């Protein structure tokens, strides 16, 4: 089976280039052992895979869905579909009991300031699995400030007892190829690819229709 799978090297509901479909929850990402939840060993009953059956992939999946919800909140708070001239932020909090990830504490920056704080009031840093903010009128690459601050934010999470692998979601303008209009995109970075963002290699795009594991 693995020889017919597309070369998707991502988890969650993400794609590397706009020409690709977003991988489905039941698609096996290449290079990873699929999670078989039924049909084991029975040729009459083909295997079904479920990323949400893997606790590690489930966090990505739910965090991506929360990032998509955060973008909807950004859009609802903005007059311009490209999110005017203020940065916006939310924090993505994983409930340690249910595993659900929710977008919390919308912050809207000062016009033109080029920065916005992350607000963890009421939650603390321990259960932060992702941070999302917008770059109005700009691309969804990490800024020099983002690159500087990423390990600081990760440190706040780990010092509070949270886990490594903080996801940094950046909303910015992008398009689907030459001649196509700009639209809002969410791209995601972590410690494995944030440095390549500095070199102009965009992180995977997150599906704006992403849904969490429990639906």
DSSP 8-state secondary structure symbol assigned to residue 30: T
For the CB of residue 25, give the shortest distance to Zn ion in the complex, in Å: 29
Site string for Zn ion, 140-169 (x = CB under 5 A): ---x--x-----------------------
Question: Nearer to Zn ion by C-beta: 22 or 141?
Answer: 141
CB 78 within 8 A of CB 84: yes
Question: Nearer to Zn ion by C-beta: 49 or 189?
Answer: 189
For the CB of residue 145, give the shortest distance to Zn ion in the complex, in Å: 6
| Choices 25-33, 53-61, 139-147, 177-185; region in contact with Zn ion by CB under 5 A | 139-147
| Choices 11-19, 38-46, 89-97, 138-146; region in contact with Zn ion by CB under 5 A | 138-146
Helix (H), strand (E) at residue 126: none
Give bridge partners of residue 130 from the DSSP assignment. 92, 167
Q: Collect contacts of 151-154 with beta carbons under 8 A, ≥24 apart.
A: 153/118, 153/128, 154/191
Q: Which residue has the tokens 């020099």?
A: 144
For the CB of residue 176, give the shortest distance to Zn ion in the complex, in Å: 22
Of the candidates 146, 133, 143, the one whose C-alpha atom is nearest the C-alpha of residue 74 is: 133
Binding residues (CB under 5 A) for Zn ion: these are 143, 146
């Amino acid at each position: 089976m693995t020889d017919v799978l597309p070369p998707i090297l991502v988890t969650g509901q993400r794609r590397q280039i706009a020409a690709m479909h977003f991988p489905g929850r039941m698609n096996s990402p290449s290079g990873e052992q699929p999670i078989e939840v039924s049909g084991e060993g029975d040729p009459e009953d083909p295997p079904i895979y479920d990323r949400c059956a893997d606790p590690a992939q489930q966090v990505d999946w739910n965090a991506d869905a929360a990032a998509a919800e955060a973008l909807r909140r950004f859009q609802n708070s903005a007059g311009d579909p490209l999110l005017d001239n203020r940065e916006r932020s939310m924090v993505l909090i994983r409930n340690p009991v249910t595993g659900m990830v929710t977008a919390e504490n919308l912050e809207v920056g000062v016009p033109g300031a080029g920065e916005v704080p992350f607000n963890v009031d009421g939650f603390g840093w321990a259960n932060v699995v992702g941070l999302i903010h917008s770059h109005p009128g700009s691309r969804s690459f990490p800024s020099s400030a983002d690159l500087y601050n990423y390990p600081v934010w990760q440190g706040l999470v780990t010092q509070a007892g949270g886990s490594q692998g903080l996801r940094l979601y950046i909303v910015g303008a992008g398009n689907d190829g030459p001649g196509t209009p700009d639209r809002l995109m969410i791209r995601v970075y972590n410690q494995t690819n944030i440095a390549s963002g500095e070199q102009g290699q965009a992180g995977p795009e997150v599906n704006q229709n992403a849904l969490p594991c429990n639906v």
